[in-house]
Amino acid sequence: MTMSERELEQLLHQAWHLPRGPSRSAALDTVFRHADAAGLSEFAFNARMSAIEEFHNAGDPTRAFLAFSWCLAAVDRAEFPIRSGAERSLLWAFKWIVWALPQFSEIPLDRTHAVLDDMQRRYQLGGHSLHAVYQHRWLVAHHTGDAAGAEHWYEQLRTARRDSLSDCRACVPSSQVKHLASIERDEEAVAIGAPFTWGGCTEQPMWMLSELVLPYLRTGRFAEAADGYRRAYTAMRNNPHHLDNIAQQLLFCGLTGNEARGLEMIEHHLPWLDRPSTPFAELEFRTAAALVLRRLRETGHGDLAIRVSSDGITKESTVDAIWVDIVARAEALAGQFDARNANTYQSERCAARMALAPITTELALTGARSGPDPGPPDPSRPGRPADRRRWSWVPWRRRPRSAPTN
Amino acid sequence: LGYTFHVDLRGIVDLLSHHLYASPRVYVRELMQNAVDAITARRAADPQAPATIRFTPPGSTGDGTLRIDDSGIGLTLDQVHEFLATIGRSSKRDELGFARHEFLGQFGIGLLSCFLVADEIRVSTRTAGGATVEWTGYADGRYEAVEAPPERYRAETGTTVTLVPRSREERWLDESTVTELAALYGSMLPYEVTVGGTPVTSRPAPWEKVSDEPDERRWSRLAAYCQDAFGFRPFDVIDLDAPEVGVRGVAFVLPAPANPASRVAHRVYLKQMLLSEGVEGLLPEWAFFVRCVVDTSELRPTASREALYEDDLLQAARETLGERLRGWITRLGVTDPRRLGEFMQIHHLGVKALAVHDRAMLRLVYEWVPFETNVGPLTLAEFQDRYGTVRYSPSVDEFRQLAAVAAAQSLPVVNAGYVFESDLLSRLPWLDPPVAVEVIGPASLSTRLDALESTVELTLRPFLVLAQRTLDRMGVEVLVRAFEPTSLPALYLLDGDTALLNDLRAGSERDNGVWGDILGALTRGRTDRPQLVFNYRNPLIRQAIGLVDGELTGLAVEGIYVQALLLGRQPLRPVDTAALNQSFQGLLRRAMGPQQ
């Protein structure tokens, strides 16, 4: 059957009303197929353009690759007039694409570098700063264990001119914190990251708070790490796009004596691994899960029951049994990345991550404050107001709170 | 040698008026806030002290000024110097190292806001037993502070603030404007506020419980408030007392379904003074089915005092208030199941959002919320009672593809393609007792169609081989099964994953460069293809199987394939259109016989 543009509009409209995830993605795919079949290239282009961001945010980079490459080719063929806004959106989308490419072990590295070169070429052609290009060159180097390359591009990133294609004010430092944390420059990481833990774009503050987990814990900022866990995890626990950040928060649980909470997270997110956003995000989650499960085994809870769901089938298993599975699968995945990267970086990193020793075992994650009085300020949390009432120009407002007389 | 900066107050005032406050109207709120705080402070020591706040509008002062009198604690000369004239300094706060966003809060904002509408502010104030002090501040930053001459001594303890209007801003001081604003911000204040002698306070506030007020009357009072404030008559009213986070108030449940994407704004009072009519983020995001009015003593307003500051305190409050709403839903299930059913009919979306992380709510969803199925709307509990395992499709597209066929095989399927549904269904096994579930998609549907006896299937080999060879270039896999309805010759089954794989393959073939390689890498080792399932119960298929003329079989298979695509609402690619043409013309040619 061939659809008219009007019918396609309706179909597209319906697709956007479905929930983000498999339902909406499948419906969008259907729209593209019908538009292609009807030969409506411009409609197909616009529909795909708006879907690239959707696929990125839905944790579905494979679909983003497909839509992105289709649109890029359409722009180059120029068989219909391209809005200048669309070209710009594609330049922006390069960042999502390059972020995801190295996370698929089946995609050869030289292909990712070819996309980076294409990105740089197009940025230069448009007269844009290479800030974002450097950030993503750094990302790929960092991801593949190229320490010298990572350091080089990090310095380029630090000194390049920011422009409107740069990541948001919280995302750039998030990358920086990732870099610094991986070489254990933790104080510097906290200094750069901590001012940006209250948002910036749709990735934030979950991303920043997750990068800060290790720097916070290793510098003894336990209260910040716990607060970060609460805020970040609540905000992203339904979002498969954040699987790698969720993994960092799971790691937090394993490093702070919160194994019970960690086990709950594993039960909750394990079904996601049927269709992980990327193989690398799966690896991150599995290694963090392996740490939590190992801690449970070490503390004598290896026979604890856990519910494992996969493709809608739920089975009872034990901590011991799934630990074995998860470690084996993590090692296999890391091996695939190593084969692609032609080094042993990911295997070594993952082995070290799974073997991390707890930093504290007594960091409580209790939720709401109890009691009406906030009490004295917590000295470990500078910047936290002791007196939450508003300052004002008249003295009586500074006095202790007194009950209004009704 | 140290120097100090000189600050142009007018510049700061303009900065504030343009960037901090949405409108100069807040000056009335700031004046009332000062007065309320002064009275509260006085009453802490002397509970019997008078408590009045009086606005005297220009019409009564006669000189174009607006006056506000309060019976509060008053200021001494030293305090006047320290507090009315120092802007931007608070040693205590500086030591605490306030975060940057707090910065504006350090200015004497309450006073500054009056400069939005006034060029000159006069304060006359007296503490109990103290001298009368006069302070006059000008918009250019000058001020004078003196002990008043005897003829201007105040008889009463308290403070009078007089505003001399800024030119062209006089309308802000009008009696009608002041009345409106004083009522908006101050109608719930614990002390009487009058404008030109007319009270603007109207108590009791919604969060107040009047002893001896019958439930019925309280309900009517709150429903009327809701109608007035939010424009709807509530389905129900929920008390939100949460002293542990310093919040009290009520939530009103919307009487009709709410769109989770629409703005959810609540009325927030700070110590009984209206902070804003449009505060977002006070409740958890799943609670989009209520609007509330609350009074808080603990939550921090932003510098503009028009929203709440996003901090861990607000987060704690959000969790606690969410807990209250959740408790109300649970209690309703015990005390009035019928009403819970009505509530679920209207607001299932919000409850579903909550149920993803909450097993108790998941059970309520299971018991109460009707789902779309291919055998009509059913609750999951009903579905399980009748059919056992809860089979569901996580995608609306796939559900549509398989609903009718599955129903014909007496295979009930739940459509779990809408918001939160597949998440919820995948968690049903976690209930106690567990509920068995199974995901069903087009590919798994074919495994549920009746297979043929192996001897029969063997006799079909020649047909299958020929059909597969004919359809290879369309990328489909050919099967024969027996299924209902018998009138359906064949079924085209394509699940989302396979469809995506097909798209990736096509993308890889289209592009000879980098992207062709990348898309190709993602399909390597994958063999799944869409399926064309011939129906052995269909007479036409039986006839096609019996054909001895291979060419005719090929034409028939192509025709049946394209028909199955059309029935499945699948788009026709060029290769499919070619098959349609070839089949149609070939069959016509044969039907018309050899050329004369």
From chain B residues 336-375, the ones with a CB under 8 A of any chain A CB are 356-357
In the numeric block, which tokens belong to residue A161?
């001119």
CB of B318 within 8 A of CB of B282?
yes
Q: Which residues of chain B lie closer than 8 angstroms to A36, CB-CB?
A: 571, 573
The residue type of B145 is A
**In terms of Cα–Cα distance, which of A40, A42, A68 is closest to A55?**
A68
More confident: A21 or B589? B589
Q: Does B396 touch chain A (CB under 8 A)?
A: yes
Residue whose tokens read 């026709």: B572
B500/A63 CB distance under 8 A:
yes
B496/A26 CB distance under 8 A:
yes
What is the reported pLDDT for A349?
97
The alpha-carbon gap from A312 to the nearest alpha carbon of chain B, in Å, equals 5
Cα atoms in the Cβ-side hemisphere of radius 13 Å centred on B289: 25
Q: Does B575 touch chain A (CB under 8 A)?
A: no
Q: Which residues of chain A lie closer than 8 angstroms to B499, CB-CB?
A: 26, 29-30, 33
Q: Does B532 touch chain A (CB under 8 A)?
A: no
A405/B40 CB distance under 8 A:
yes
Q: Does B526 touch chain A (CB under 8 A)?
A: no
B98/A106 CB distance under 8 A:
no
Q: Which residues of chain B lie closer than 8 angstroms to A195, CB-CB?
A: 100
The DSSP letter of residue A400 is: P
Q: Does B571 touch chain A (CB under 8 A)?
A: yes
Residue whose tokens read 């691994």: A273
Q: How far apart are CA B58 and CA B47, in angstroms?
A: 32
- Alpha-helix runs per DSSP H in A78-108: 84-100
B504/A369 CB distance under 8 A:
no
The alpha-carbon gap from A223 to the nearest alpha carbon of chain B, in Å, equals 12
The confidence band for B7, taking pLDDT boundaries of 50, 70 and 90, is low
What is the reported pLDDT for A60?
94
The answer to whether residue A256 scores a pLDDT higher than 70 is yes
Q: What percent of chain B has pLDDT over 90?
A: 49
The answer to whether residue A342 scores a pLDDT higher than 80 is yes
The answer to whether residue B419 scores a pLDDT higher than 90 is no
Residue of B515, B561, B563, B569 to mutate, interface with A, max A Cβ within 10 Å:
B515
Summarize pLDDT for B302-329 with one digit per residue, the tens: 766 677 887 778 888 998 999 999 999 9
- How open is the CA angle B343-B348-B354, to the nearest 5 degrees? 110
What is the reported pLDDT for B16?
65
Element (H, E) at A172: helix A171-182
Q: Which residues of chain A lie closer than 8 angstroms to B272, CB-CB?
A: 404
The answer to whether residue A140 scores a pLDDT higher than 60 is yes
**In terms of Cα–Cα distance, which of A210, A254, A263, A215 is closest to A233?**
A210
Question: Which residues touch A62 (CB under 8 Å, ≥6 apart)?
Answer: B500, B504, B522
Summarize pLDDT for B368-389 with one digit per residue, the tens: 888 999 999 999 999 999 999 9
What is the reported pLDDT for B596?
62
Summarize pLDDT for B441-500 with one digit per residue, the tens: 888 888 889 999 999 989 999 999 999 999 999 999 999 999 988 999 999 998 888 899
CA dihedral B261, B265, B266, B271 (to 10 degrees): 140
A29/B419 CB distance under 8 A:
no
Summarize pLDDT for B500-538 with one digit per residue, the tens: 999 999 999 988 899 999 999 999 888 889 999 999 999
> What region, left, alpha or beta, does residue A399 occupy, with left being phi > 0 and alpha being psi -120 to 50 degrees?
beta
What is the reported pLDDT for A392?
29
Phi, psi of B9 (to 5 degrees): -60, -40
The alpha-carbon gap from A62 to the nearest alpha carbon of chain B, in Å, equals 8
The alpha-carbon gap from A393 to the nearest alpha carbon of chain B, in Å, equals 5
- Alpha-helix runs per DSSP H in B143-263: 175-186, 215-230
Cα atoms in the Cβ-side hemisphere of radius 13 Å centred on B142: 5
Find the residue in A nearest to B261 (Cα).
A17
Q: How far apart are CA B573 and CA B564, in angstroms?
A: 14
The answer to whether residue B98 scores a pLDDT higher than 80 is no
Summarize pLDDT for A295-306 with one digit per residue, the tens: 999 999 999 999
State pTM to two decimals. 0.74
CB pairs under 8 A between A and B: 226
State the average pLDDT for chain B.
87
Find the residue in A nearest to B417 (Cα).
A23
Least confident residue range of A279-283, B107-111, B425-429 = B107-111
Q: Which of A33, A367, A384 sits opposite B571 (nearest CB)?
A: A33
Residue of A122, A392, A398, A401 to mutate, interface with B, max B Cβ within 10 Å:
A392
Q: Is the ipTM of this complex over 0.95?
A: no
Bridge partners (DSSP) of residue B294 are B249, B268
Q: What percent of chain A has pLDDT over 70?
A: 89
Q: Which residues of chain A lie closer than 8 angstroms to B53, CB-CB?
A: none
Q: Which residues of chain B lie closer than 8 angstroms to A100, CB-CB?
A: none
The answer to whether residue B56 scores a pLDDT higher than 90 is yes
**In terms of Cα–Cα distance, which of B234, B232, B243, B298 is closest to B270?**
B298
Q: What is the DSSP string of A243-293?
A: HHHHHHHHHHHHHTT-HHHHHHHHHHHGGGGGS-S-HHHHHHHHHHHHHHH
What is the reported pLDDT for B21?
67
A27/B244 CB distance under 8 A:
no
- How open is the CA angle B530-B533-B538, to the nearest 5 degrees? 155
